Amino acid sequence: MADQSNPETRSPEVNRGMPGGSGPSDAQNDHEGISRRRLLGTAGATGLVLGAAGAAAGYASAPSSAATPLASVGSEQVKFHVKHQPGITTPMQARGHLVAFDLAAGAGRKEAAALLRRWSDTARRLMAGEPAGTRDTDVARDAGPSSLTVTFGFGHSFFGRTGLEEQRPVALDPLPDFSSDHLDKNRSNGDLWVQIGADDALVAFHALRAIQKDAGSAARVRWQMNGFNRSPGATAHPMTARNLMGQVDGTRNPKPADADFDQRIFIPDNPAKDGTNAPAWMANGSYAVVRRIRMLLDDWEKLSLKAQEDVIGRRKSDGAPLSGGTETTEMDLEKTDGSGKLVVPINAHARITRPDQNGGAAMVRRPFSYHDGFDADGVPDAGLLFICWQADPLRGFVPVQRKLDRGDALSPFIRHEASGLFAVPGGAAEGEYVGQRLLEG
C-alpha cells in the first residue's frame, strides 16, 4: 500500500464514442450544450470523467472540467492493439476481476499458444463492444465497451510447464519472504494471470466468464478475486481515490512527464541493446506484483482521527501531508512542532514509502478494493487487491516492502494474505496475440 497514486485520467488510449468510432456520437454532441448543473440533477448522477496524475506518458490527457453525457461511461473504448498491454496505464476502472490459471496436466507450449490466441481474440472483441464469439452469453448485450481492459501475464511456473525455462526472466524469480506475510498458497501465484477491468459490473463479469470458458480443457482456474473502485462521475470533480480505511490512497507516483518514467515501468523496445536484463519477448512489457492485503478495519476504526493521520502521515480529509499544504505539496520530513517532535512521524506510512527514502524505488500502483463478506464474528473480510507495475520488481516493489516490514506504522492494521508475481509482455500488434513472441519465437 505504498503512498503512490493510482492512474485515473481518461486518455487517448480510450476512444470516446460508440464501438469502432473515433469521436463522440451524435447523442454526445447533442449534450455538449447541457450545463453541469442540469447534468448533476439528471438521474441523480454526473457524467464526469475522473482524472488524476497517474496515467502513462503518451497516453495521458489532462482532466476535463466539463461534464460529459451520462452515456459516456458505457461508450468509452480502450484499444487492444497498443504498445503496452491495456490495463497498466489505463485510467482506474470501477470493477475488476483477477484470475489465475494453471495449465492442465499434459498441456504444454502448443496448448498454451492456442489458448493465448483464443484469449487475445476474445479480449479484442469484447474491448470493442462486440460479442465474444458464437457462444456469447449475452450478459452485456445492451452495454457498450465501458472501458473494458483484459491484461495477460505469465507466472514463474508457466515456463517449466511449457519447456521454456531458458526464456524465463531473472526478474520473475520468487519474491522474498516478508514478516507481515500470512500467505495462502492456494490463492497465490499461478501459471497464467488475467486482469479484467471495466466501468460496468456486467461488462466485467461478461469478460471474466468468456475468458474462463475459453480456457476449455487447456487450463483450470487456480484462484479468482473481485474488486471495485469509485465509479466515474461519483464525485463532483476529479480526485484521487479513497481506500476502505477512508484515506486518500495514492498521491505520489512516477509521473508520465518524468524523463525516466518508461525506464522505471516498462521494458524497452530492444532489451539487449539497452542493456536491460530481460528477454527480447518482454519488450514493452512490465512486471505485476499482486497482493491481497486484508485491512483489519475493526482495529483501524477504533483509532482517533489524529492517530489514523499519524499512521499514514497525511490528513484524512484531503490527503495533504501533515507538514502542511495541499495533497500534492512536497512532504517536509524535517518539520517539527513546538515541542520539537516530528510532524510526520518517523514510522508514518507515507514517509517510509517515499522513493527518495528507498533508493529511488518506484512503481505504478493500480489497485482495487475488495469485500468478501464477514466471518462468524462479524469481522469484515475486506481490503485491497494491491497491483503494482515496474520494469524490475527487485528495484520496485521489493525494497519498499522490505522497508515497510521493518517498522511501518500501518503494519498492525493490515495482513498480506496472497501474493503473485507475473511477467506481462508488451501489447500485441495487429494480427498477433499476446505472448506470441515467447510461444512461437
State the alpha helices, DSSP H only, in 41-154: 72-75, 109-127
* Bridge partner list, 181: 416
Q: Which three cell numbers stand for residue 254?
A: 512516477
Instruction: Quote the CA–CA distance of 153 and 148 in Å, as a whole number.
Output: 17
Which amino acid would we find at residue 344? V
Gap between the Cα atoms of 427 and 85, Å rounded: 4
CA 317 to chain centre: 24
In sequence order, which residues have a C-beta less than 8 Å from that of residue 6 and are 6 or more positions away? 52, 54, 92, 229, 240, 241, 249, 250, 253, 365, 366, 367
The answer for residues whose C-beta is within 8 angstroms of residue 35's C-beta and 6 or more apart is: 67
Active site residues: 249
Say which DSSP state 274 is in. T
Contact by Cβ (8 Å): 62, 51: yes
Written as nine digits, the cell of 397 is 516493489
Using DSSP, state whether 403 is helix, strand or coil. Answer: helix
Amino acid at residue number 114: A
User: Are 207 and 191 contacting, i.e. CB atoms less than 8 angstroms apart?
Assistant: no
> Largest Cα–Cα distance of the chain, in whole Å?
71
**Alpha-helical runs (H) found in 294-366:** 297-300, 305-312, 349-352
In angstroms, rounded to a whole number, what is the distance separating the alpha carbons of residues 308 and 245?
Answer: 9
Task: Print the SS3 string covering 313-351.
Answer: CECCCCCCECCCCCCCCCCCCCCECCCCCECCCCCCHHH
Measured in degrees and rounded to the nearest 5, phi and psi for residue 330 equal -60, 130
- The answer to whether 256 touches 60, Cβ cutoff 8 Å, is yes
Closest to 194 (Cα-Cα) out of 435, 411, 413: 435
| Residue given cell 472501458 in the structure block | 147
**Helices (H), ranges, 128-200:** 156-161
**Rounded distance between C-alpha atoms, residue 228 and residue 243, angstroms:** 10
